[in-house]
Amino acid sequence: MTLNVLILGGTAEGRVLAERLASDGRFVTLLSFAGRTASLQRPQTPHRVGGFGGPEGLRTFLQRERFDALIDATHPFAAQMSANAVRAAHAAHVPLIRLARPAWRPQAGDRWTQVVTMADAAGAIGDAPRRVFLSVGRTEIAAFAAAPQHEYLIRAVDDFDPGLPRARVLAARGPFAFADELRLLRGEAIDVIVSKNSGSDATHAKLEAARSLGIPVIMVEQPALPPARLAHTLDEIVAWLNALHAAPVARREV
């Protein structure tokens, strides 16, 4: 028999997991995207796009589509979705596992200021006008309206109107290479970087470039998430699924 698996995506790891499970006849997967980007790169594996309608909507979806397992492979900053997953999985009696991506840690030579919110990040840039490389999402830009004295270069997947007086958008999708990041930071005479601590390999090179140029980084740390069973690698998730598949009677009780 097959195990019906819903994967909440938004990360490269979610896609890789769906592809990996596609070649295993024991599992049927559906990969779910929020639909945040206009230029969604559709995977080859079965997928859907759009919200479920809160935790209650997700619970209904899990039960109606008879899912046996829920995998939270969302972005570390997608805190609402991760919280919804915990509530819905509990209510629907569907086992849940979350892929926990470790945050980046400062290394020798880094000049980080670690903050909790985007508003804190905007304040930490300081009063004097600076050239800021904003590596944050479109939905988070509003916080920087409180610091209009700075010039912003915003890198985002899609182009958009940032609604800030001195801001440009650089539409680009990672992964980004060290040499390109170095060129960008130098060429744009960037004074400071604001970044979310996504822990992603695809966007880490900017931090190495910042270190080598001595550029300070304001790092917005990952939000706290409600407790859930955690996996740190895709292998751990596959092992968990293997165990669920091997215990068909018990699996809905987990």
What is the nearest approach in angstroms of ligand NAP to the Cβ of residue 180? Answer: 20
Residue 140 or 191: the one with the smaller Cβ distance to ligand NAP is 140
Residue 81 in contact with ligand NAP, rule: CB under 6 A: yes
Residue 75 in contact with ligand NAP, rule: CB under 6 A: yes
Residue 79 in contact with ligand NAP, rule: CB under 6 A: yes
* Binding flags for ligand NAP, 107-146, as an x/- string (CB under 6 A): ------------------------------x-xx------
Residue 46 in contact with ligand NAP, rule: CB under 6 A: no
Q: Which residues pair with 169 in a beta bridge?
A: 154
Going by C-alpha positions, the residue among 53, 49, 2, 60 that lies closest to residue 27 is 2
Decide: residue 119, CB within 10 A, 0-12 exposed, 13-18 middle, 19+ buried. middle
Q: Which of 12, 22, 28, 34 binds ligand NAP (CB under 6 A)?
A: 34
Q: Which of 51, 102, 148, 175 binds ligand NAP (CB under 6 A)?
A: 51
Q: Which of 5, 6, 10, 185 binds ligand NAP (CB under 6 A)?
A: 10
Describe the chain by its helix, strand, coil percentages, rounded to 5.
Answer: 35, 20, 45
Alpha carbon distances (Å) from 203 to 100, 206, 213: 17, 7, 17
Residue 48 CA to residue 60 CA, distance in Å, equals 16
Residue 209 in contact with ligand NAP, rule: CB under 6 A: no
Residue 5 CA to residue 241 CA, distance in Å, equals 9
Alpha carbon distances (Å) from 131 to 101, 128, 206, 229: 30, 10, 15, 41
Residue 9 or 216: the one with the smaller Cβ distance to ligand NAP is 9
The site for ligand NAP (CB under 6 A) is made up of 8-10, 32-34, 36, 51-54, 57-58, 74-75, 77-81, 84, 137, 139-140
